[in-house]
């Protein structure tokens, strides 16, 4: 049996952990390649127009895997933090895939993973039909946990300019979707931080109501923490067009950071790379001039 793993959405971040888990169980996996134009076109063709770009890309990866494996893993991810949820589209993703692509050979485990106990239970339910021995499952579970933090330490060169790159991980780490933004920033001589390689504090007490979206809480706390501690010179927020959660988090951050340099890049399948390059170059130039002239320049990107 071969299980296909679409290389999109949160699978990008947790792909290595998923592969290690199945390998220790004794199941062969096949991962779709990095996002490319063929996969993007497949996704746009087979997904509803109203979906955001990352969901369309996920459809493309599933379509690529259709005839290359026995089953395709399409998890229904519900919670990664207690009393919080992630994007609503994750909750209905299996149904979207099933009916948009008319595909039946999917495995759709419900994932609730806000601590070791709930994560372990979700993974056990996934492989329960295989009648795996307890010792083998325990080994596979430990292998999964040991590979969760692939992006904790990004390899970047320290420089005078430091930027926090915000956004959902499937936008930050998919080089095709974001048009190699991390590589481009490095070429400009900028050090890049992400949510995964910094520690941040809880500043949600500043908000009228505690967020119930995990993505929103993470991006807000990360931005405010690094500004308060003076670790960054600017923020670049990469957002997909029509993302409901981002529509809140972008404005909540903007409201709290005052005149701090803040660039928002909205992307979809029609976004041109030249426009992204121009805005990045202009933003980095602004940061350099502000540093040289004691921050006496306009900040909005």
- By the 8 A CB rule, do 2 and 26 touch? no
CATH class of the domain at 2-146: alpha beta
pLDDT at 153: 63
Residues 6+ apart with CB under 8 A from 163: 185, 190, 191, 192, 193, 232, 233, 234, 235, 236, 287
The span from the CA of 242 to the CA of 291, in Å, is 34
Q: Is the pLDDT of residue 297 over 60?
A: no
The whole-angstrom separation of Cα 254 and Cα 223 is 10
CATH 3.40.50.11900 fits domain 161-292: yes
What is the residue extent of each domain of the chain? 2-146, 161-292
Fold: same for 2-146 and 161-292: yes
Using DSSP, state whether 190 is helix, strand or coil: strand
* pLDDT single digits (tens) 177-215: 999 999 999 999 999 999 988 888 989 988 888 888 999
pLDDT of 154 > 70? The answer is no
**Tens-digit pLDDT profile for residues 162-180:** 999 999 999 999 999 999 9
């Amino acid at each position: 049996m071969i299980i296909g793993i679409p290389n999109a959405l949160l699978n990008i971040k947790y792909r290595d952990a998923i592969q290690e888990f199945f390998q220790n169980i004794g199941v062969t996996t096949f991962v779709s390649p990095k996002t490319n134009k063929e996969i993007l076109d497949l996704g746009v063709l087979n997904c509803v127009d109203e979906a955001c770009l990352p969901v369309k890309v996920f459809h493309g990866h599933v379509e690529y895997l259709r005839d290359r494996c026995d089953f395709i893993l399409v998890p229904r991810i519900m919670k990664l933090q207690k009393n919080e949820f992630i994007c609503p589209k994750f909750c209905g993703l299996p149904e979207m895939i099933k009916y948009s692509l008319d595909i039946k050979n999917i495995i759709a485990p419900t994932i609730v993973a806000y601590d070791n106990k709930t994560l372990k239970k979700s993974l056990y339910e996934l492989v329960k039909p295989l009648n795996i021995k307890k010792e083998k499952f325990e080994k596979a579970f430990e292998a999964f946990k040991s590979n969760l933090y692939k992006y904790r330490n990004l390899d970047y060169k320290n420089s005078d300019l430091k930027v926090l790159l915000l956004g959902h991980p499937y936008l930050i780490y998919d080089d095709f979707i974001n048009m190699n933004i991390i590589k481009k920033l490095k070429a400009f001589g900028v050090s890049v931080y992400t949510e995964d390689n910094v520690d941040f504090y809880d500043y949600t007490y500043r908000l009228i109501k505690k967020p119930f979206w995990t993505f929103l809480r993470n991006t807000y706390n990360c931005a405010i923490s690094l500004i308060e501690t003076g670790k960054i010179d600017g923020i670049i927020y990469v957002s997909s067009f029509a993302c409901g959660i981002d529509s809140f988090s972008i404005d909540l951050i903007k409201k709290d950071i005052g005149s701090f340099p803040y660039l928002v890049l909205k992307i979809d399948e029609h976004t041109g790379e030249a426009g992204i390059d121009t805005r990045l170059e202009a933003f980095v130039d602004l940061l350099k001039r502000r540093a040289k002239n004691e921050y006496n320049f306009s900040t909005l990107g």
